[in-house]
A and B are shown apart, each in its own frame.
Chain A
Amino acid sequence: MSVIKSGMVAPLVFELALCLAIAVLIARARKGQKLPTIRKVAGLDALDEAIGRATEMGATVHYSPGIGDIANPQTLASFAIMGYVAKTCAKYDTRLIQTNRNNVVYSVAEEVIKQAYADAGKSDAFNADDVRFLSEDQFGYASACVGIMHREKVRANILIGAFWAESLIFAEVGAQIGSIQIAGTANTHQIPFFIAACDYALLGEEIYAASAYLTREPVLVGCLIAQDWGKMVGVALVIVGAVMATMKNNSLKDLLLK
């Protein structure tokens, strides 16, 4: 009996290689070696602008991490951005209302925001009532968010995470009430709605780069470089695989299926 399940050899090799690359790059970052700069992501640069606008207007920032559960990578990526947004809001004494559909995400979000307020030296300003669990039902959550956006003077609407059919409801209402809107998701069928209705849209992978981009912490930047290496390997595999397929050679495909 094989120790590794059939079909899992290639993923294991790739993941180990990726982990190794991340470890090496983190070690290099910790030694203070020069790391490449990260290219500009307009949507992430605009977070400060959006919070700043809400601050000037004495208004509220609304943050939704989408409706994905805790095992969704987009939700995990959203926590990093949420922490940054909460810290910035705490710094400027701007009210932040964070809404949730999933009870576990709600619990983690509360911890993330509480920690962000502590990091900003404003622990006392943290209001647990502004981190809200609304409903586990998709459209129950959506209609509650619509109500909050209308009633709580939301002027900066940040929607980053896994969104499905409720995406346009949020973005459309945000536009209706005159909020500056920054939205991002990796769910390809929802990205067009965010592009159409929001001021800034983060496309797919850009939400995963956010933590490194916003903090510029060498360790996170090291991880981002390793991810870029993974993508470069992907590009190389596609080119080589397509050429080999044209020559009727399936050996690379067979190798990756192991």
Chain B
Amino acid sequence: MVTTNWWLWLAAFFTVSIYTVAFADNNLFRFVESIFVGTSAGYMVTANWFNYIKPQLLNVQKGQYVLLIPFLIGLLVYTRYVRSIAWVSRISLAFTLGYGSGFILSKNFRPDFLTQVIATFRTLDTFNNWLLVFGVITSLTYFLFTVEQKGVVGYASKAGRWVMMIALGAAFGSTVMARVSLFLGRVQFLLTEWMFLVK
């Protein structure tokens, strides 16, 4: 006995079809892939319109004319479709890249560097704290690119590589567990909601 809800049939069809690529590329996968890519693109266009563009245009209507500036900069991107003035699109790209770099510089330095450094100021009275400080120092040494990797730096760099491999191994295990749980979620859907094999 299986469900009579055709939405669940559709979901089951897509789930099984997507998994067929694990064996080889096939027409079923191509068909489902095209639908998935197309619908996700369509969904994103709609979501962007309703979540970002429309609300801002309404704000312009309410008198926030300053919003027209980013709107016009955004429109410049479309000049790339007119070969003779395609270079104009670079203005908005330059603006975006400049904004991106500046944003990173102002926003990321504290959390990515200073906060991490401060978090390593541990009292060296437990093994865990020693391990943490040792791990941070040796891993940082591994990422020195212009210092010759010999002597103390060489040993620290090798130790840093080991520290990272152990940490990455642990991360691998935990992420694989999460992925297996995602897969089990789909299997559970097929067996319980679609096929009623498991209650």
Contact = CB atoms under 8 A, between A and B. Distances in A.
Contacts of B7: none
B198 to A, nearest CB: 26
Most chain B CB atoms below 10 A, which of A143, A190, A196: A143
Interface in A200-251: 203-206, 209, 212-213, 221, 224-225, 227-228, 230-232, 234-235, 237-239, 241-246, 248
Contact of A244 (B100, B121, B129): B121
Contact of B168 (A144, A188, A209): A188
B109 interface: yes
Contacts of B155: none
Contacts of B103: 71
Contacts of B110: 7-8, 10-11
A73 B164 contact: no
Contacts of B128: none
Interface string B129-146: 100010011001111111
Interface stretch (B36-44, B54-62, B186-194): B36-44
Contacts of B142: 203
Interface residues of A, number: 78
Contacts of A14: 109, 113-114
B143 to A, nearest CB: 4
B117 A237 contact: yes
A147 B30 contact: yes
Contact of B40 (A38, A111, A136, A257): A136
Nearest to B124: A246
Main secondary structure of the interface of A (DSSP, over half): helix
Given A224-B146, A235-B140, A144 B121 contact: no
A205 B89 CA distance: 31
B181 interface: no
Nearest to B116: A234
Contact of A228 (B77, B96, B137, B144): B144
Nearest to B112: A73
Contacts of B118: 241, 253, 256-257
Interface string A189-205: 11111011000000111
A42 interface: no
Interface in B1-52: 18, 21, 25, 29-30, 33, 36-37, 39-41, 43-44, 48
A81 B77 CA distance: 24
A70 interface: yes
Nearest to B48: A136
A23 interface: no
B140 A231 contact: yes
5 contacts: A137-B40, A150-B21, A193-B175, A231-B144, A243-B124
Interface of B: 18, 21, 25, 29-30, 33, 36-37, 39-41, 43-44, 48, 77, 80, 89-90, 93, 96-97, 99-101, 103-105, 108-110, 113-114, 117-118, 120-125, 129, 133, 136-137, 140-149, 164, 167-169, 171-172, 174-175, 179
Interface of A: 7-8, 10-11, 14-15, 35-39, 41, 69-73, 76, 104, 107-108, 110-111, 134-137, 139-141, 143-144, 146-147, 150-151, 165, 168, 173, 188-193, 195-196, 203-206, 209, 212-213, 221, 224-225, 227-228, 230-232, 234-235, 237-239, 241-246, 248, 252-253, 256-257
Which 10 interchain pairs have the tightest Cβ spacing?
A: A140-B40, A137-B40, A192-B172, A241-B121, A150-B25, A136-B44, A71-B100, A205-B143, A36-B146, A192-B168
